[in-house]
A = this chain, B = another copy of it.
Amino acid sequence: MTLLPANDTPQYAYETDPAAIYRQSFSIVRREADLSHIPDALHPTAVRLIHSCGMTDLPQDLTWSDDVLEAAQSAFAKGAPVFCDVEMVAHGIIKNRLPEGSEVICTLNDPSVHGLASELKTTRSAAAVELWRDRLDGAIVAIGNAPTALFHVLEVIAAGGPKPAVILGFPVGFVGAAESKDALAANPYSVPYLAVKGRRGGSAMAAAAVNALAAGLPEEG
Residues of A at the B interface (CB closer than 8 Å) are: 8-10, 12, 14-18, 21, 24-25, 28-29, 51-55, 86-88, 90-92, 121-124, 126, 147-148, 151, 154-155, 158-159, 172-177, 179-180, 183, 186, 188, 198-204, 207
Pick from B15, B54, B86, B180: contact of A201, CB under 8 Å? B54
Closest A-B pairs by Cβ, 4 of them: A54-B199, A87-B91, A16-B122, A28-B174
Closest approach, in angstroms, between the C-beta of A30 and any C-beta of chain B? 11
User: Are the CB atoms of B12 and A173 closer together than 8 Å?
Assistant: no
Complex Cα distance, B179 from A77, in Å, reads 40
Complex Cα distance, B201 from A52, in Å, reads 9
User: Are the CB atoms of B51 and A174 closer together than 8 Å?
Assistant: yes
Complex Cα distance, B51 from A197, in Å, reads 16
A28 to chain B: closest residue by CB: B174
A51 contact set on B, CB distance < 8 A: 173-174
Pick from B10, B21, B121, B173: contact of A123, CB under 8 Å? B21
A90 to chain B: closest residue by CB: B91
User: Are the CB atoms of B54 and A175 closer together than 8 Å?
Assistant: no
A179 contact set on B, CB distance < 8 A: 14
Complex Cα distance, B189 from A203, in Å, reads 33
Closest approach, in angstroms, between the C-beta of A215 and any C-beta of chain B? 18
Pick from B8, B28, B121, B202: contact of A202, CB under 8 Å? B202
Pick from B18, B24, B200: contact of A53, CB under 8 Å? B200
Complex Cα distance, B12 from A154, in Å, reads 8
Q: A10-B188, A54-B198, A204-B204 are in contact. List 15 more A-B contacts (CB 8 A).
A: A9-B159, A10-B186, A12-B183, A15-B176, A16-B122, A17-B121, A21-B148, A51-B174, A52-B202, A53-B200, A53-B202, A55-B200, A88-B88, A88-B92, A88-B207
